[in-house]
Structure formats: structure tokens, C-alpha cells
């Protein structure tokens, strides 16, 4: 067994951390998709 107390790893906290990771991924995906391309016609004028 590893020389640490597994009780320091609360199951719920571990799962929450994973959940947080996936949430950040989800928002990152949203952010990347929400960049608006500026219309070239707009630019030309």
C-alpha cells in the first residue's frame, strides 16, 4: 500500500474536481466557438 492515508482523498471531492475539469473544458469549447469572424465587407468599408 502507498504510504499515505487514503482517507485524505474524499471520494466526493475527487469527483467534484473531475466535474470542475469537465466544466472548464465545456466553457472553453463554448468560448472558442463564440469568437465572431468580422465580415470582410464590413472591413473593406
Partner 1 sequence: MTKQNDVYIQSLERMKEQIENYPLKIFEGTKKVQKEYHIDAVNQRNEYVLKQISKLEKDLDIVKSLLVGKMEKLLPQLRSDDEKKQLDELKELENMFVFYNSYGDFFSKLGFDRIFFDMGHYDELDFDVILSYLCQFIETFKLAGVSLSSKDFSYSNYVQEFMCSFFSHYKNDDFQEQMKDVFDNIYWNCPNLVVHLKLNIYVLSFKYQKKLDQYCIKKMKGLSNLNKNDSYSFLSKYEKIRKDIKNVKLSDSYYIVQKFVNNDYNIDDFLETSDVWKQKFNQFLNDCNYDDMTDEERDDYFRELIQLKYMLYEFDNIKQYDELKKDISNRFNNTDKNMFKNKMKEIKKIESLKNKLLKKYYSLANKDNHNKYRDKISFLISEINEKINTLDTLYMELEDVRMTEKIKNSLSNGSTIYDAFCLVDTCYGYLKHFFETKMELKDSNKLNKMLEEFHEFVYSGFLVISKSVNIFQECSIVDMINHKCKLFHINLLINEEDNLDSIKKDLEFIEFLYYVGKCYLSVSQIKFICEVKTLV
Catalog residues that contact partner 1 under the rule CB under 8 A.
Answer: 1-2, 4, 6, 9, 11, 13-21, 23-25, 27-28, 30-32, 34-36, 38, 42-43, 45
- In angstroms, what CA-CA distances link 13 with 8, 20, 24, 27, 44? 10, 10, 16, 21, 53
CA–CA dist 17, 11 (Å, integer):
10
Amino acid at each position: 500500500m502507498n504510504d499515505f492515508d487514503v482517507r485524505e482523498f474524499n471520494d466526493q471531492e475527487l469527483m467534484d474536481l473531475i466535474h470542475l475539469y469537465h466544466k472548464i473544458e465545456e466553457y472553453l469549447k463554448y468560448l472558442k466557438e463564440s469568437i465572431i469572424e468580422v465580415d470582410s465587407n464590413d472591413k473593406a468599408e
